[in-house]
Structures are given as C-alpha cells and as structure tokens.
Structure 1
Amino acid sequence: MSKTVVYEVQVMFGDCDPAGIVFFPNFSKWMDASSLNFFVQCGVLPWRELVKTRGIIGTPLLEIHTKFIRPATYGETLQVHTSVQEWREKVFVHQHVVMRGDTVLCECTEVRAFCIQHPEDPDRIKAILVPEDIKALCL
C-alpha cells in the first residue's frame, strides 16, 4: 500500500443533472484531479517539471473500474481518498474512495503508467518502469 491523500471537492449546481444528482463523469474528473494531487502531496514534482527534467509526461489512464454506491448533489463537500493499492513493474493501481463525511459514495480503481514520449515516434507515448524514487515518496 501507500500513503492516503484526501482531495476535497465542492459540488456545484453545474456538476449535476436535471434531477440534481452529480452527473457520473464528474466523479471521474475529480478522481483524475485527485490522482495528480496524490503525487504532488507526496512530494513528487508536477508533470510539467518532470517532463523537463526526466521526460515523464504524466500517468495516463489505462483501465478504470468504478462502483457507484450513493448519489451526491450540489452544495455538498466530498472527499476523495486516494492511495496506490499496488505497484507493478510498469504500472500502478490507484484506489479512490469518494466519501461525504463517513458515507462512501463511490469506489474506483485505476491502472496507470508513467510515460514518456516514444523515442522513435513523437506522436506516441511509451510506458517506463515505475521510478523507484517516486514510489519511495508515496509509501
């Protein structure tokens, strides 16, 4: 496992559908923001800095599994609890638990990879080994 970092979200009216329920893609948007926030809070430089110094452009999403348990609506404050569930050679599994206080609203796992521009084709990206120094910051 890894550290758990909490990212807070204020749900706005525009985040909801006509019934006043958060439109489901907004959960993905918040979890994506929480993914980046996780690394920043662990002490990893922002991607725009890592691309300059190490060529790492970020951690693109490869796979996602989301389970919606309870709805949310505007005016609520949500917390996205993010951690790394598993480190593999070239990918890692991010776990997100979206909560409203003590109530779990959504659970998600994402498989992501650290990537660089492909050295032979600048229109493509390439997964690299998980950097050990970044992993160490997150434990």
Structure 2
Amino acid sequence: MSKTIVYEVNVMFGDCDPAGIVFFPNFLKWMDASSLNFFVQCGVPPWRELVKTSNIIGTPLLEINTKFMRPATYGETLQIHTSVEEWRDKVFVHRHIVKRGDEVLCEGTEVRAFCVRLPDNPERIKAIAVPEDIKMKCS
C-alpha cells in the first residue's frame, strides 16, 4: 500500500468555462501536478535532480481514465488525494481523488512509467523497472 499525499488547488476564474464551471482539462492538469508532488512529498528528488544521479527523466503518462461526478467553480479550494494503486514491473498506476472537503468531485487513474534517455539516441526514451528505492519511499 502506498502513502496518500494531498495536493491543494485554489480554483481561479480563468480555470472555468463561461458558465463558471471548471473546464475539464484543468482537472487533468491538477492531477498531473499532484503526481509530481506525490513523489517530492515522499522524499524523491525532483526529476531535474534525479536525471543527474540515476538518468531518470520523469514519469511520462501512458494512459488516463477520469470520472467526473460534481462540478467545481472559482473561489473554491480542492484537494487532490494521490496514491499509488498498483506497482507493476515497469509502470505504476496513480490514483487521484479530487475532493471539495468531504465531497468527491472527480476520480482518475494514470498509468505512468519511469523513463530514461537512450544513451545512443538521447532523443528517444525507454521505460525501466520501477526503482525499488523509490517504491520504498512511497510505501
């Protein structure tokens, strides 16, 4: 079981459509930010530091699934509860639950992989096995 880290977002007027409802891609942007925040809060160095020590450039997104239940609007504070639902060999599943207090607004999962640049072709990347030290920090 992984830790659950909470990332807070203050919804701004510009995050909303003309009806004053948060435009759906903003939920995905916040989940992406919460994904990185999860690792930093668990004690994993930021990607720009990790690339220097282990060649890991980050965790690119491979798949995303999202379910929207309730709208949000500007002036509200939302909490994104992020955890790792499953560790696989080369990928992991991040689970995000977006709440306004106790009310669930949105749930999403992301499949991501830890990646490095290919030494013979730095423009290409490849997935590597999930590092055990990172898995331990997040559990």
Q: Give unpaired runs (5+ residues) of structure 2.
A: none
Q: Which residue of 2 aligns with 1:25?
A: 25
Partners of 1:68 and 1:89 in 2: CA distance: 30
% identical aligned pairs: 81
Amino acid at match of 1:67: K
Q: Which residue of 1 aligns with 2:115?
A: 115
Q: Which residue of 1 aligns with 2:93?
A: 93
Query: RMSD over aligned Cα, in angstroms?
Result: 0.5
Amino acid at match of 1:89: D
Partners of 1:53 and 1:97 in 2: CA distance: 32
SS in 2 for 1:130: coil
Correspondences of 1:1-139 after superposition (within 5 Å): 1-139=1-139
Amino acid at match of 1:54: S
Partners of 2:128 and 2:119 in 1: CA distance: 12
Post-superposition shift, 1:120? 2.7
Amino acid at match of 1:17: D
Amino acid at match of 1:3: K
Post-superposition shift, 1:119? 2.3
Runs of 4+ in 1 over 3 A off after TM superposition: none
Q: Give unpaired runs (5+ residues) of structure 1.
A: none
Partners of 1:92 and 1:11 in 2: CA distance: 28
Deviations 1:43-79 (A, max 9, x none): 0000000001110000000000000010000000000
Amino acid at match of 2:107: E
Partners of 2:123 and 2:35 in 1: CA distance: 24
Q: How many correspondences in the alignment?
A: 139
Post-superposition shift, 1:111? 0.2
Partners of 2:63 and 2:119 in 1: CA distance: 24
Post-superposition shift, 1:123? 1.3
Partners of 1:11 and 1:47 in 2: CA distance: 26
User: TM-score, normalized by length of structure 1?
Assistant: 0.99
Deviations 1:7-41 (A, max 9, x none): 00000000000000000000010000000000000
